[in-house]
Amino acid sequence: MANITKKVSWSSRGDDSGLTGEGTPLLNGSEIPKPSRQLSGSGSVFRIGRFSTVDLEDDITSEEDPIRGRPKEIPHNEKLLSLKYESLDYDNIENQLFLEEERRMSPMGFRCLEISRWVICGLIGILTGLIACFIDIMVEKLAGYKYQVIKENIEKFTEVGGLSISLILWAVLNCAFVLVGGIMVAFFEPIAAGSGIPQIKCYLNGVKIPRVVRLKTLVVKVIGVICSVAGGLAVGKEGPMIHSGGVVAAGVSQGRSTSLKRDFKMFEYFRRDTEKRDFVSAGAAAGVSAAFGAPVGGVLFSLEEGASFWNQMLTWRIFFASMISTFTLNFFLSIYHGKPGDLSNPGLINFGRFESDSVAYYYYEIPLFMCMGALGGLLGALFNSLNYWLTIFRIRYVHRPCLQVMEALLVAAVTAAVSFTMIYFSNDCQPLGPERNEEYSLQLFCADGEYNSMATAFFNTPERSVRSLFHYQPGSYNPMTLGLFTLTYFFLACWTYGLAVSAGVFIPSLLIGAAWGRLCGILLASFTPTSPIWADPGKYALIGAAAQLGGIVRMTLSLTVIMVEATGNVTYGLPIMLVLMIAKIVGDYFQEGLYDIHIKLQSVPFLHWEAPATSHWLTAREVMSSPVTCFNRIEKVGTIVDVLSNTSTNHNGFPVVVQVLDSDEPAKLCGLILRSQLIVLLKHKVFVELARSRLSQRKLQLKDFRDAYPRFPPIQSIHVSQDERECMMDLTEFMNPTPYTVPQDTSLPRVFKLFRALGLRHLVVADDVNRVIGLVTRKDLARYHLGKHGLEELQLAQT
Amino acid sequence: MLPYNLYLFFVFVAIDVPSLKCGDVVHLSASESADKLEAVPSLSTAAVSSPVPAVDTGFSFSLLSSFPEDLEVSDYCSDLLHIFGQRYVAYVNCLVPAARPVKVCQSCYSTYGSVVEIYKNISSDQMGPGNVTCRDSLLRSDRLMLVYQLYSNLESLWEDSNCAQCVTGDLESLTNDTLYFMSTLNQTLTCFEKYQQGNHTELCKNCKSAYGTLNVLYSQMEKNSTLCIDIEDAMNMTRRLWSKNFNCSFPREENVPVIAVSSFMLFLPIIFYLSSFLHSEQKKRKLIHPRRAKSNTSLMNIQDKLS
């Protein structure tokens, strides 16, 4: 019994990532860490009474569960925290090596560092712009080719009959593109699926998502997004651009590529999480900026979505990166379009300029806009709920790569089929105008000289459809066409998001919104007797697009600025802001934003801006994990190796304690050391005995730690002989001598604030005589969230 | 000074209220004129010319009298102006009847040429007889710049109609492309006329080749951008005749196969999801079930304590 107990309590030393499913409901967990066992049962009863939200079922099962803690299987749901996610080390480790290096560095060296930060930001901008340019051109070429082939085929078969063959051709072409993209994503790099914004958001929040900023991910992402857009799925290429920007930033700032095994011996100082994370926020900004031609929007996106650590210089650098990115994109696109030097064609998605007479809006339209905002919020919440259920289904049942590819193929085929049917049965014919030359207009059964209006919406890349919805003359679309289009595209987009292809949700949302917004404009104009000049459908399309996008992704500040910048029109700032506000308020009432849903479904320990409300009564004592695995300042190598290689306790940070000699007093905290550091130390065999015998041995420098970053070898790959196990290791030089500590009565919000504001990874809980009694990590904090019935607790799980 | 006075004068005639807008001096003179007006109460605006000279004795005021010699437009220039007017009228006279159906390029290119020519003369900076150039005196001596505006209106009309694509560079004749198109168009129209009476299906069948040639020719010209408004309009009319009047568009007659194929495709995902749902349920062990171990330490601690 004692043995088992030990094992269990061992497992509950949930350090950064405790044991397999250390998921203890709060009810039980609150009791663990009490080292002072005088807290009696009444205390726990009190807790139970207070914590009425704990599922009764959970309660029972936990009691019925065998004490050994046999893993219990439950289907995937949103109330889990995965063990595979770890924190980034944002906090600086001010150990002696660091101080030494700082001493050695001249003022000139610091200046150089500052300059190289700027150089890196410039490079990030340029490379991101180039990638955006590449994606844009490739999509245009491939989609153009595809639509040309299908168009010719349709024209041929309209005449002689056999249009179902065109339908099949369309579906097959779609599937071919999606097949390539799907295989790339599903088999080579699953993290590249989706828009990548949730992942980047998590990264900027301080969560290390495995493989999210690797070169391979970038390659898969770029090819994947080209394939999925060219494959006619209801997706956009803007979200992936943001992810690509992040990867570029993470790569460039390191001055080497671990995947290619090339080290350029540059920027070595930046090889740590702190610097990398700052650069990734610059990269994300550059991505937004390239995608929408919105440099300021990009900076604000980084601010809103991620960077918790913000200062004026960093902001300015990020702005620099995003400006450079827009500039690069414009420059190369101008060359591509045969107008070298023309820098006025910004953004992957160019909403086009609104003509001056259609931009006018009047005060009496504001309520209308706000109603549209509310509608956008409702539709967005519906979209998110549907997608939520779909994603849960996918996680539970469609998890094998081949199934995922098949699903993507099916979606591609169905998209083609539905689009074709819509076009085929549409009776909405509009005359060809001079401005319609650029796209692939289909005539089908329309009179000569007219085109099928449904085809401009379906038979086109989504972003061109957006542009035509914004800018075509009033009367270019039937209300019927728009209604049907909105309906089908809504479900198609909802179905598509979350597939194993890299694809963004920005453009589909804009498209849905633009369609129903335009519909609103047309209906308004028809309700009022003397067709008023203010009911310009294009304007309402813009407002609808903003409302729908706001309703789905729930971004506020950055989205307003992005929309304003992408349309190149500050005049609409006020209505867009109002619409986004309303959409967010209405949407939040029903369902979270799409990105938040996906973050939750991936069980990421995400820290929001604030601790959940009504959590002040929780103290560090209840929150922390305990007991903690500690090391002595001079520790036996064997112990360290054993602790590190214990697979059940994949801890990442260890408080270092010092035992006062010849006394019964418990050990006192004197520092904190990370697993990565220990591994480097073991690798270099920094043992006390060896140092004595070989005086000439090179002293370990900070550089050795940086060289191993970011892929520290696993402990299994480090060979320690039996003799060496008996050696001692002195951690004094390497540990962080001043870790942050809190007393055990600190409230949860206070701990939370420390974590969020300082970017901590471990927070030691110490008592009044500086003994370690617990350790708070990200997962300990992230598990509390405010659910529908009050404070709820997430469970840890192995995924 | 003078224009102000005049302006105020009119104001007084019209509303008879002391103006507060102007400076003192002007105001004074204005009230002066008002006084004078009271002396002649029956004056109306029509009588402007007679009281005005009396207002400000220092200036010559007659609108009819001529300007000094050096400010006058020379005879040469006024001749040019006259010719411009005539040709302008001729061109407009030509344009208006050609508005519907549009034939502005075919019928009026030569008159347009003459307008262009005379305007060139006016706007050239070459000295005419008597060492005068009319450019400055006719085109830009005043704010209105009437001649220039009139001409630029015509020019923008010409540009909008894309007539330059159908007319040779020297505005002498229509291009060969245009003529060829017109003859093809005529063939088609004759064909239409021939079969117009009877059944339209007959027409659709028989004129299909002529119409098809025309269509091909048109799209070819569209690619080469040798279209002008005449051709576009003629083609539009023909297409409308063909599609709307004679109803020769392609009928929608493949509903069944299209519906069959697309509903088959719609059916696939249902099978897929159903099968993956059922299939996966059978192999439930293989699912990635998040594992949750109950470590129950607290319970055990309590038990420890109790025992």
Token pair 């305990």: residue: A626
Residues in chain B: 307
Out of B273, B289, B299, closest to residue A73 by CB:
B289
User: Which residues of B fall within a CB distance of 8 Å from A62?
Assistant: 294, 296, 299
Domain end position, chosen among B113, B139, B165: B165
Residue B305 CA to its chain's centroid (Å): 92
Phi/psi for A16 (5° steps) reads -60, -40
B266 inside domain: no
Q: What is the ipTM for the molecules in this complex?
A: 0.80
Q: Is pLDDT at A11 greater than 80 in this prediction?
A: no
Vertex A53 angle, CA A47 and A55, to 5°:
105
With 0-12 / 13-18 / 19 or more C-beta atoms within 10 angstroms meaning exposed / middle / buried, residue B162 is middle
Which of A456, A447, A453 lies closest to A478, judged by CA? A453
Q: DSSP characters for A453-480?
A: HHHHHHSS-HHHHHHHHHHSPTTSS-HH
Residue A9 CA to its chain's centroid (Å): 34
Instruction: Render pLDDT for B30-55 as a digit per residue (tens, 0 to 9).
Output: 444 444 444 444 444 443 344 444 44
Secondary-structure percent of chain A, ordered helix, strand, coil, rounded to 5: 55, 10, 35
Q: Could you tell me which residue, A614 or A229, shows the higher pLDDT?
A: A229
Q: pLDDT confidence of B68, banded at 50, 70, 90?
A: low
Helix (H) / strand (E) containing A678: helix A675-683
Question: Mean pLDDT, chain A, as a whole number?
Answer: 82
Between the alpha carbon of residue A249 and those of residues A268, A276, A654, the distances in Å are: 14, 8, 31
Is B242's Cβ below 8 Å from some Cβ in A?
A: yes
Between the alpha carbon of residue A397 and those of residues A400, A403, A411, B274, B289, the distances in Å are: 8, 9, 16, 10, 10
Q: How many CB atoms lie within 10 A of CB B191?
A: 17
Q: What are A698's two structure tokens?
A: 């090179």
Instruction: Render pLDDT for A269-290 as a digit per residue (tens, 0 to 9).
Output: 888 888 888 899 999 999 999 8
Between the alpha carbon of residue A503 and those of residues A138, A182, A361, the distances in Å are: 15, 11, 34
Token pair 């209106």: residue: B153
Q: Is pLDDT at A708 greater than 90 in this prediction?
A: no
Domain end position, chosen among B165, B200, B232: B165
User: Which residues of A fall within a CB distance of 8 Å from B242?
Assistant: 447-448
Residues in chain A: 799
Q: Are residues B187 and B137 in the same domain?
A: no
- Predicted pLDDT of residue A18: 36
Torsion angle of C-alpha atoms A481, A484, A487, A492, degrees rounded to 10: -90
Out of B265, B290, B305, closest to residue A74 by CB:
B290
- Identity (one letter) of the amino acid at A573? G
Pairing relation of β-strands A795-797 and A80-82?
parallel
CB A582 within 8 A of CB A370: yes
CB B295 within 8 A of CB A8: yes
Bridge partners, residue B297, by sequence:
none
With 0-12 / 13-18 / 19 or more C-beta atoms within 10 angstroms meaning exposed / middle / buried, residue A639 is middle
Helix and strand counts by DSSP (H, E) for chain A: 31, 19
B29 inside domain: no
For B:10-29, CB contacts with A below 8 A are none
Kindly list the domain boundaries of chain A, sorted by start residue: 135-236+363-606, 620-797
Which of A665, A716, A727, A732 lies closest to A693, judged by CA? A727
Q: DSSP characters for A316-337?
A: HHHHHHHHHHHHHHHHHHHHHT
Q: Is pLDDT at A690 greater than 90 in this prediction?
A: no
- Predicted pLDDT of residue A767: 87
Q: What percent of chain B has pLDDT over 90?
A: 8
- Predicted pLDDT of residue B70: 61
Helices (H), chain B: 2-15, 24-39, 52-55, 75-95, 104-123, 134, 146-160, 176-195, 200-206, 208-224, 229-240, 255-282, 297-306
| Least confident span in A119-128, A539-548, A611-620 | A611-620
Out of A29, A65, A798, closest to residue B291 by CB:
A798
Helix (H) / strand (E) containing A654: strand A653-658
Instruction: Render pLDDT for A211-231 as a digit per residue (tens, 0 to 9).
Output: 888 899 999 999 999 999 999
- How many A/B residue pairs have CB atoms within 8 Å? 186
The count of structural domains within chain B is 2
Buried b (16+ CB within 10 A) or exposed e, B31-68: eebbeebeeeeeeeeeeeeebbeebbeeeebeeeeeee
- Collapsing DSSP to helix, strand or coil, B52 comes out as helix
CATH topology of domain A135-236+363-606: Clc chloride channel (1.10.3080)
Residues 6+ apart with CB under 8 A from B140: B148
Q: DSSP characters for A408-426?
A: HHHHHHHHHHHHHHHHHH-
User: Which residues of B fall within a CB distance of 8 Å from A396?
Assistant: 280, 287
C-alpha–C-alpha distance, residues A364 and B113, integer Å: 52
Domain end position, chosen among B165, B188, B215: B165
Q: Are residues B81 and B130 in the same domain?
A: yes
Whether A168 sits inside 8 A of B304 (CB atoms) is: no
Torsion angle of C-alpha atoms A235, A228, A305, A385, degrees rounded to 10: 50
Domain carrying residue B146: 75-165
Question: Mean pLDDT, chain B, as a whole number?
Answer: 71
- Predicted pLDDT of residue B1: 41
Q: What are A503's two structure tokens?
A: 């694809």
Q: What pTM did the predictor assign?
A: 0.80
C-alpha–C-alpha distance, residues A553 and A384, integer Å: 9
Which of A212, A149, A267 lies closest to A706, judged by CA? A267
Half-sphere exposure at residue A307, Cβ-oriented, CA atoms within 13 angstroms: 26
Q: Is pLDDT at B114 greater than 50 in this prediction?
A: yes
CB A461 within 8 A of CB A488: no
> How far off is chain A from B212, nearest CA to CA, in Å?
11
CB A306 within 8 A of CB A279: no
The answer to whether domain A620-797 has CATH 3.90.25.10 is no
> How far off is chain A from B252, nearest CA to CA, in Å?
7
Q: What are B278's two structure tokens?
A: 């059922």
Between the alpha carbon of residue A123 and those of residues A94, A127, A252, the distances in Å are: 30, 6, 7
Out of B242, B249, B304, closest to residue A5 by CB:
B304
Residue A502 DSSP one-character state? B
Between the alpha carbon of residue A498 and those of residues A202, A231, A395, the distances in Å are: 17, 16, 10
Q: Are residues B189 and B140 in the same domain?
A: no
Strands (E), A434-574: 450-452
Q: How many CB atoms lie within 10 A of CB A203?
A: 25
Q: Is pLDDT at B196 greater than 60 in this prediction?
A: yes
Shortest CA distance from A11: residue in chain B: B295
Q: Are residues B82 and B140 in the same domain?
A: yes
Instruction: Render pLDDT for B257-307 as a digit per residue (tens, 0 to 9).
Output: 889 998 999 999 999 999 888 876 543 433 333 332 233 344 334 334 344
Q: pLDDT confidence of A374, banded at 50, 70, 90?
A: very high
Top mean pLDDT of A60-74, A347-361, A398-412 is at A398-412
Q: Is pLDDT at A202 greater than 70 in this prediction?
A: yes
B51 inside domain: no
CB A390 within 8 A of CB A498: yes
Top mean pLDDT of A6-15, A352-361, A664-673, A734-743 is at A734-743
CB A743 within 8 A of CB A765: yes
Q: Is pLDDT at A51 greater than 50 in this prediction?
A: no
- Predicted pLDDT of residue A115: 93
- Identity (one letter) of the amino acid at A118? W
CB A505 within 8 A of CB A548: no
Is B271's Cβ below 8 Å from some Cβ in A?
A: no
Bridge partners, residue A798, by sequence:
B291
Half-sphere exposure at residue A456, Cβ-oriented, CA atoms within 13 angstroms: 28
Half-sphere exposure at residue A176, Cβ-oriented, CA atoms within 13 angstroms: 9
Which of A540, A548, A537, A535 lies closest to A582, judged by CA? A548
Whether A76 sits inside 8 A of B272 (CB atoms) is: no
Q: Are residues B158 and B195 in the same domain?
A: no
- Predicted pLDDT of residue A246: 93
Shortest CA distance from B285: residue in chain A: A73
Helix (H) / strand (E) containing A774: strand A772-777
> How far off is chain B from A790, nearest CA to CA, in Å?
23
C-alpha–C-alpha distance, residues A98 and A109, integer Å: 15
Q: pLDDT confidence of B28, banded at 50, 70, 90?
A: very low
Is B223's Cβ below 8 Å from some Cβ in A?
A: no
Q: What are A478's two structure tokens?
A: 């039937």
Helix (H) / strand (E) containing A780: helix A778-782
C-alpha–C-alpha distance, residues A82 and A76, integer Å: 11
